[in-house]
Amino acid sequence: MAAPTVSTAHFVNGSFTDGGGERIDVVNPATEEVIGSVPAGTAADADAAVRAAASAFESWAATPLAERVAAVRRVNDGLRERAGELAATIVAEVGTPIAFASRVQVVNPVGITDGVLAEVEAGALDPVTVGNSTVVREPIGVVAAITPWNFPLQQMVAKVTPALVAGNTVVLKPSEVAPLTAGLLARIIADADLPPGVFNMVHGTGPVVGEALAAHPLVDMVSFTGSTRAGRRVAAVGAETVKRVALELGGKSASVVLDDADLGRAVKITLANCFMNNGQACSALTRLLVPADRHDEALAAAAAAAAKYVPGDPALESTRIGPSVSAAQRDRVVGFINKGIEEGATLAAGGPDPVEGPGYFVRPTVFGNVKPDMTIAREEIFGPVLSILPYTDEADAIRIANGTQYGLAAGVFGADVERARAVAGKLRAGQVDVNGAAFNTRAPFGGFKQSGNGREFGRYGLEEFTELKSIQV
């Protein structure tokens, strides 16, 4: 399946522009072929976009809420209408299997925006009376949205649509690794007839364009999704102008299987979650914690399940796992696999050997007998690598689950649902699924500890893009 032709230009003040100078190639990770390019934006390009957004802010903020809602609804209609193109583009530039791209990558963003609009209609932005005060929510101003490559459309939409409906103007910097989806989104927004400057987009790298946006004195808020390392830098740069910084960062999420759980089901669901999107998900359940006396049973089940994930062409409906997004990412994942072997973990499936043929593929890998202090139990790998850790009792499981710098997501499996919920309450993570519960695009998404701060989705994500004002009479 070939990706559609999309605009790969900047979008500033209502117009597409190629900018000047160098360009960045976009590579299909399954074929290693160049499929497009985008301009390598500069600090000057970022400045032009920010100034356009700043000029448009006062008028957009004063636009009646009903009109802003209508505009965002037009954007969401465009996402629905072009779902096929969006899915094909994500397959081509990220390597996401088409089944996952079609059912998740392009469905979640529509659901996220539907949820935001429903919260607005339910009064999320309405004034509240507190004693002799009227508390109002107002837009922050110019929002810089800096997004990653792994869920390109979802992460862009989760920032852009709530920011816009709240009355902010936006400058988007999509990942230079997977920017073609952003080109389609920009075209959809352009077709929705928002006033010039309300939405802007600048391509380029984080150290150049991202840094310029985070430092810009006219940017009032940065909403960033990416690695914890890059998030620290965004926070530090943003602090110079005391702007609001919302961060959704890395994870090393634990799946805790209690002693009364259906072990086979828990292993199957955890492995599927770990391997989703080719293992490239910040909230993936990458650590499977099982009772020590059932470790070998869990390891055998996980290895058998992993054998069904055969790397293949992501454009085929039958493919369950595609490539890493780039050669650098593949090499990073393989490096972690080698580290797991060196540190004494039991390799039960997969391994570091290359997959024959073109593409940046990694063998889906399962490790057993993993200790909490091993590198593969502590570091975010961002690839199809599952680590199985034995524990002695419930308290030990909770200690191990909470024993990393991260706190984005977690899972608990148990026959006694109330007990499982009690364990979920003790896990230091922003969202916890009990017995494989479904993902909810209206519930708050974000992390504890070095997984970030702030929340996205639904009412909570909408509120992130507002300032509170108290008016006393």
- Give residue-wise pLDDT tens across range 304-336: 999 999 999 999 999 999 999 999 999 999 999
368 pLDDT band (50/70/90 cuts)? Answer: very high
What is the rounded average pLDDT of the residues 131-159?
98
One-letter identity of residue 102? S
Q: Which residue carries 């230091």 as its tokens?
A: 428
Its CATH class, for the domain covering 10-249+450-472, is alpha beta
* pLDDT over 70 percentage in the chain: 99
Kindly indicate the confidence band of residue 253, based on its pLDDT and cuts at 50, 70 and 90. Answer: very high
Return mean pLDDT, the chain. 97
Task: Answer for the pair 279, 333: CB distance below 8 angstroms, yes or no.
Answer: yes
Mean pLDDT for the stretch of residues 445-450: 97
* pLDDT tops 90 at residue 2: no
DSSP run (H or E) holding 462? helix 458-463
Enzyme catalytic residues: 248, 282
pLDDT at 3 over 80: no
Confidence band of 127 (pLDDT split at 50, 70, 90)? very high
Stretch (H or E) spanning 110: helix 108-121
- Residue 445's region, left for phi above 0, alpha for psi from -120 to 50, else beta, is beta
pLDDT of residue 6: 54
Any idea where the domains of the chain sit in the sequence? Answer: 10-249+450-472, 253-440
Greatest alpha-carbon span in the chain: 73
Which pLDDT score, from 0 to 100, does residue 1 have?
44
d(CA 434, CA 145): 31
Q: Is pLDDT at 5 greater than 70 in this prediction?
A: no
458 Cα distance to chain centroid: 15
Asked if 10-249+450-472 and 253-440 have one fold, the answer is no
* Contact residues for 114 (Cβ-Cβ < 8 A; gap 6+): 76
Residue whose pair of structure tokens reads 């493919």 in the numeric block? 319
Residues 363, 337: Cα–Cα separation, whole Å: 10
Q: Please write the tens of the pLDDT for every residue from 197-222.
A: 999 999 999 999 999 999 999 999 99
pLDDT one-digit tens code per residue, 31-45: 999 999 999 999 999
- Count of Cβ atoms closer than 10 Å to residue 326 Cβ: 18
Q: Is a pLDDT exceeding 50 seen at residue 185?
A: yes
Topology at the third CATH level for domain 253-440: Aldehyde Dehydrogenase; Chain A, domain 2 (3.40.309)
Instruction: List phi, psi (to 5°) of 270.
Output: -65, -45
Edge-to-edge strand list for the sheet holding 385-391: 346-351, 363-368, 385-391, 285-291, 253-257, 409-413, 431-434
Cα torsion angle, 448, 451, 456, 457, sign: negative
Q: Is the pLDDT of residue 7 over 90?
A: no
